[in-house]
Amino acid sequence: ANDIGRYMLCGAVFLALPQVTRNQGHVAITLLPDALGPRAGRLYRRALLLLTAVVVLTVAWFCTDVAMAQYRQGVLTAMANQIPRWWLTVVVVFGLVLSAVHMILPRPPVPGASAGHGEV
């Protein structure tokens, strides 16, 4: 049960990440964008989201490389119930890529989001 719990935790975190990103459920410190005014604040938020998407896609690229190496080498987890480690790494890649997609695509404001936070 302990092993499965750890595997499921990894899956839950990275499979929920795209939904949290889509709903803009992340923590945001908006002092600068709020001080810039509506138009400049939107541009700032958009630029920041695009930069963040580039970073997340870069991390996903590295994770993909690791997953391919794990697959080629046949690496297993170190738990009592061993599974191929690349299975978990692919879940991480999926969550990161889908989160980046949600950052790149324009989206409508989310009801209940903080003022101006969902306007990008």
CB 23 within 8 A of CB 110: yes
- Binning pLDDT at 50, 70 and 90, where does residue 94 land? very high
| Residue spans of alpha helices (H) in the chain | 2-22, 31-36, 38-73, 85-104
Does position 118 have pLDDT exceeding 50, yes or no? no
Residue-wise pLDDT tens digits, 59-80? 999 999 999 999 999 999 887 8
Q: What confidence tier does 108 reach under pLDDT thresholds 50, 70, 90?
A: low
**Low-confidence winner among 34-43, 78-87, 110-119 (lowest mean pLDDT):** 110-119
In this prediction, residue 38 carries a pLDDT of 85
